Amino acid sequence: MNQKPFLAHIVTLFPEIFPGPLAHSITGRALAEGRWQLQTTHIRDFAADKHKTVDDTPYGGGAGMVMRADIVAAALEHALRQTPNAPVVFLTPSGKPFSQADAQRYASGEGLILLCGHYEGVDQRVLDALVDEEISIGDYVLTGGEIAAYPVLDATVRQLSGVLGNHETLDEESFSVALGGLLEYPHYTRPEIWRGVGVPEVLKSGHHGKIAQWRKEQALSRTEQRRPDLLRNQSKQLKKCIT
Protein backbone atom coordinates (compact mmCIF):
# COMPACT_ATOMS: atom_id res chain seq x y z
CA MET A 1 0.00 0.00 0.00
CA ASN A 2 1.34 3.45 -0.94
CA GLN A 3 1.87 5.87 1.92
CA LYS A 4 -0.56 8.79 1.96
CA PRO A 5 1.01 12.14 1.09
CA PHE A 6 1.66 14.59 3.90
CA LEU A 7 -1.47 16.70 4.51
CA ALA A 8 -1.16 20.31 5.65
CA HIS A 9 -4.47 21.65 6.97
CA ILE A 10 -4.84 25.41 7.54
CA VAL A 11 -7.60 26.70 9.83
CA THR A 12 -7.96 30.35 8.87
CA LEU A 13 -10.15 33.39 8.27
CA PHE A 14 -8.50 33.84 4.86
CA PRO A 15 -8.38 30.49 3.02
CA GLU A 16 -8.12 32.28 -0.32
CA ILE A 17 -4.51 33.29 0.29
CA PHE A 18 -3.35 29.67 0.19
CA PRO A 19 -1.30 28.09 -1.28
CA GLY A 20 0.17 31.50 -2.19
CA PRO A 21 3.98 31.27 -2.51
CA LEU A 22 3.81 27.58 -1.61
CA ALA A 23 2.44 26.95 -5.11
CA HIS A 24 5.79 27.93 -6.62
CA SER A 25 9.35 26.60 -6.81
CA ILE A 26 10.21 23.41 -4.91
CA THR A 27 7.11 23.31 -2.70
CA GLY A 28 4.85 24.06 -5.66
CA ARG A 29 6.35 21.29 -7.77
CA ALA A 30 6.00 18.85 -4.87
CA LEU A 31 2.37 19.93 -4.43
CA ALA A 32 1.67 19.36 -8.13
CA GLU A 33 3.36 15.95 -7.94
CA GLY A 34 1.19 14.95 -4.99
CA ARG A 35 4.08 14.61 -2.53
CA TRP A 36 2.05 16.74 -0.13
CA GLN A 37 -1.48 18.09 -0.01
CA LEU A 38 -2.98 21.35 1.22
CA GLN A 39 -6.43 21.79 2.69
CA THR A 40 -8.10 24.80 4.31
CA THR A 41 -10.96 25.24 6.77
CA HIS A 42 -12.70 28.63 6.85
CA ILE A 43 -13.37 29.63 10.46
CA ARG A 44 -16.29 31.86 9.48
CA ASP A 45 -18.15 28.84 8.15
CA PHE A 46 -18.78 27.88 11.79
CA ALA A 47 -20.23 31.23 12.91
CA ALA A 48 -23.97 31.09 13.62
CA ASP A 49 -25.13 34.69 13.04
CA LYS A 50 -25.88 36.28 9.69
CA HIS A 51 -22.79 38.48 9.88
CA LYS A 52 -20.50 35.46 10.41
CA THR A 53 -19.00 37.02 13.53
CA VAL A 54 -16.04 35.11 14.96
CA ASP A 55 -14.81 37.51 17.67
CA ASP A 56 -16.05 39.35 20.74
CA THR A 57 -14.85 41.84 23.35
CA PRO A 58 -12.44 40.46 25.96
CA TYR A 59 -13.54 39.81 29.54
CA GLY A 60 -11.75 42.20 31.86
CA GLY A 61 -11.66 44.94 29.24
CA GLY A 62 -8.85 46.04 27.00
CA ALA A 63 -8.25 46.98 23.40
CA GLY A 64 -9.14 44.78 20.46
CA MET A 65 -11.25 41.68 20.04
CA VAL A 66 -10.72 37.98 20.82
CA MET A 67 -11.64 35.02 18.64
CA ARG A 68 -14.42 33.00 20.27
CA ALA A 69 -13.71 29.56 21.74
CA ASP A 70 -16.89 27.92 20.45
CA ILE A 71 -16.36 28.97 16.84
CA VAL A 72 -12.64 28.21 16.70
CA ALA A 73 -13.24 24.87 18.40
CA ALA A 74 -15.85 23.89 15.80
CA ALA A 75 -13.40 24.74 13.01
CA LEU A 76 -10.56 22.81 14.64
CA GLU A 77 -12.73 19.77 15.31
CA HIS A 78 -13.75 19.78 11.66
CA ALA A 79 -10.07 19.85 10.66
CA LEU A 80 -9.29 17.03 13.09
CA ARG A 81 -11.96 14.85 11.50
CA GLN A 82 -10.29 15.44 8.13
CA THR A 83 -6.74 15.07 9.45
CA PRO A 84 -7.12 12.95 12.62
CA ASN A 85 -3.48 12.03 13.24
CA ALA A 86 -1.98 15.49 12.81
CA PRO A 87 -0.79 17.70 15.67
CA VAL A 88 -2.65 20.99 16.08
CA VAL A 89 -0.25 23.93 16.10
CA PHE A 90 -1.23 27.51 16.95
CA LEU A 91 0.91 30.18 15.29
CA THR A 92 1.51 32.93 17.86
CA PRO A 93 4.35 35.30 18.86
CA SER A 94 4.09 33.93 22.41
CA GLY A 95 4.86 30.38 21.25
CA LYS A 96 8.09 28.38 21.30
CA PRO A 97 10.55 29.50 18.59
CA PHE A 98 10.14 27.38 15.45
CA SER A 99 13.26 25.40 14.54
CA GLN A 100 14.67 23.05 11.94
CA ALA A 101 14.11 20.21 14.39
CA ASP A 102 10.41 21.08 14.51
CA ALA A 103 10.22 20.99 10.71
CA GLN A 104 11.87 17.57 10.65
CA ARG A 105 9.53 16.30 13.36
CA TYR A 106 6.42 17.54 11.55
CA ALA A 107 7.62 16.05 8.26
CA SER A 108 8.00 12.63 9.89
CA GLY A 109 4.26 12.50 10.61
CA GLU A 110 1.16 12.19 8.47
CA GLY A 111 0.27 15.86 8.48
CA LEU A 112 -0.07 19.13 10.34
CA ILE A 113 -2.97 21.37 11.35
CA LEU A 114 -2.05 25.05 11.63
CA LEU A 115 -4.39 27.44 13.43
CA CYS A 116 -4.01 31.04 12.27
CA GLY A 117 -5.13 33.62 14.82
CA HIS A 118 -6.23 37.21 14.31
CA TYR A 119 -7.25 40.27 16.33
CA GLU A 120 -5.89 40.13 19.91
CA GLY A 121 -5.72 36.36 19.87
CA VAL A 122 -7.83 33.28 20.58
CA ASP A 123 -9.81 32.42 23.71
CA GLN A 124 -7.37 30.52 25.93
CA ARG A 125 -9.90 27.78 26.69
CA VAL A 126 -9.90 26.42 23.14
CA LEU A 127 -6.09 26.52 23.06
CA ASP A 128 -5.97 24.51 26.28
CA ALA A 129 -8.52 22.02 25.00
CA LEU A 130 -7.47 21.37 21.40
CA VAL A 131 -4.02 22.79 20.61
CA ASP A 132 -0.94 20.58 20.98
CA GLU A 133 1.75 23.18 20.44
CA GLU A 134 2.18 26.94 20.14
CA ILE A 135 4.88 28.05 17.69
CA SER A 136 6.45 31.44 16.96
CA ILE A 137 8.50 32.37 13.88
CA GLY A 138 10.14 35.33 15.59
CA ASP A 139 9.99 38.03 18.23
CA TYR A 140 7.57 40.30 16.40
CA VAL A 141 3.81 40.58 15.89
CA LEU A 142 2.07 39.96 12.57
CA THR A 143 -1.50 40.89 11.64
CA GLY A 144 -2.38 37.20 11.45
CA GLY A 145 -1.01 33.69 11.53
CA GLU A 146 -1.37 33.13 7.78
CA ILE A 147 1.95 34.80 6.96
CA ALA A 148 3.66 32.69 9.65
CA ALA A 149 2.18 29.52 8.14
CA TYR A 150 4.24 29.95 4.96
CA PRO A 151 7.73 29.52 6.47
CA VAL A 152 6.55 26.72 8.76
CA LEU A 153 5.12 24.76 5.84
CA ASP A 154 8.00 25.55 3.48
CA ALA A 155 10.58 24.35 6.02
CA THR A 156 8.50 21.23 6.71
CA VAL A 157 7.65 20.26 3.13
CA ARG A 158 11.26 20.41 1.94
CA GLN A 159 12.06 17.74 4.54
CA LEU A 160 9.65 15.27 2.91
CA SER A 161 11.12 12.36 0.98
CA GLY A 162 11.64 13.12 -2.70
CA VAL A 163 10.90 16.86 -2.48
CA LEU A 164 14.55 17.88 -2.87
CA GLY A 165 16.41 16.20 -5.71
CA ASN A 166 19.60 15.70 -3.70
CA HIS A 167 19.15 14.54 -0.10
CA GLU A 168 22.71 15.67 0.68
CA THR A 169 21.37 19.23 0.41
CA LEU A 170 19.48 18.67 3.67
CA ASP A 171 22.51 17.14 5.37
CA GLU A 172 24.72 20.18 4.89
CA GLU A 173 22.28 23.02 5.54
CA SER A 174 22.35 25.38 8.49
CA PHE A 175 21.22 23.72 11.74
CA SER A 176 21.67 20.21 10.29
CA VAL A 177 23.06 17.34 12.35
CA ALA A 178 25.90 16.91 9.83
CA LEU A 179 27.03 20.49 10.57
CA GLY A 180 26.63 19.99 14.29
CA GLY A 181 23.77 22.48 14.44
CA LEU A 182 26.00 25.29 13.16
CA LEU A 183 25.27 27.81 10.42
CA GLU A 184 26.20 26.74 6.91
CA TYR A 185 29.63 27.59 5.47
CA PRO A 186 29.93 30.10 2.55
CA HIS A 187 29.62 28.95 -1.08
CA TYR A 188 31.40 29.97 -4.27
CA THR A 189 30.95 29.30 -8.00
CA ARG A 190 32.04 30.75 -11.35
CA PRO A 191 33.43 33.22 -12.30
CA GLU A 192 36.66 32.36 -10.49
CA ILE A 193 37.51 36.06 -10.15
CA TRP A 194 34.69 38.54 -9.56
CA ARG A 195 35.40 42.25 -9.03
CA GLY A 196 38.94 41.42 -8.08
CA VAL A 197 37.99 38.84 -5.45
CA GLY A 198 38.96 35.21 -6.00
CA VAL A 199 37.62 31.91 -4.77
CA PRO A 200 39.47 30.51 -1.70
CA GLU A 201 42.35 28.37 -2.93
CA VAL A 202 41.43 25.37 -0.80
CA LEU A 203 38.15 24.96 -2.72
CA LYS A 204 40.11 24.60 -5.97
CA SER A 205 42.65 22.16 -4.52
CA GLY A 206 40.65 18.97 -5.06
CA HIS A 207 41.73 17.83 -1.58
CA HIS A 208 38.45 16.66 -0.06
CA GLY A 209 39.84 16.38 3.48
CA LYS A 210 41.17 19.94 3.47
CA ILE A 211 37.93 21.23 1.93
CA ALA A 212 35.86 19.49 4.61
CA GLN A 213 38.07 20.95 7.34
CA TRP A 214 37.84 24.45 5.84
CA ARG A 215 34.06 24.20 5.71
CA LYS A 216 33.86 23.12 9.35
CA GLU A 217 36.07 26.02 10.38
CA GLN A 218 34.00 28.47 8.34
CA ALA A 219 30.75 27.12 9.80
CA LEU A 220 32.10 27.54 13.33
CA SER A 221 33.45 31.04 12.64
CA ARG A 222 30.20 32.17 11.01
CA THR A 223 28.17 30.80 13.93
CA GLU A 224 30.42 32.51 16.50
CA GLN A 225 29.98 35.83 14.70
CA ARG A 226 26.28 35.68 13.85
CA ARG A 227 24.59 33.26 16.25
CA PRO A 228 26.67 32.72 19.39
CA ASP A 229 23.46 31.59 21.09
CA LEU A 230 23.62 28.37 19.07
CA LEU A 231 27.02 27.57 20.53
CA ARG A 232 25.78 28.32 24.05
CA ASN A 233 22.85 25.97 23.49
CA GLN A 234 25.24 23.24 22.32
CA SER A 235 27.34 23.71 25.44
CA LYS A 236 24.27 23.38 27.65
CA GLN A 237 23.19 20.20 25.88
CA LEU A 238 26.68 18.70 26.27
CA LYS A 239 26.70 19.46 29.99
CA LYS A 240 23.33 17.73 30.38
CA CYS A 241 24.67 14.64 28.64
CA ILE A 242 27.77 14.57 30.87
CA THR A 243 25.79 14.98 34.08
Output the CATH code of domain 172-242. Answer: 1.10.1270.20
Contact 133, 85 (CB under 8 A): no
CATH code 1.10.1270.20 region(s) in the chain: 172-242
**pTM for this structure?**
0.88
pLDDT beyond 80 at 50: yes
The β-bridge partners of 197 are 194
Cα 142–chain centre separation: 15
CATH homologous superfamily of domain 6-157? SPOUT methyltransferase, trefoil knot domain (3.40.1280.10)
Please give the pLDDT value at position 180. 78
The β-bridge partners of 114 are 10, 89
Cα separation of 133 and 90, whole Å? Answer: 6
Cα 66–chain centre separation: 25
Please give the pLDDT value at position 1. 39
Please calculate the CA angle 139-133-29 and round it to the nearest 5 degrees: 80
For the segment 197-235, what is each residue's pLDDT rounded down to a tens digit? 999 999 999 999 999 999 999 999 999 999 999 998 776
**79 Cβ partners below 8 Å, 6+ apart?**
9, 11, 39, 41, 88, 113
Cα separation of 200 and 202, whole Å? Answer: 6
Contact 94, 108 (CB under 8 A): no
CATH code 3.40.1280.10 region(s) in the chain: 6-157
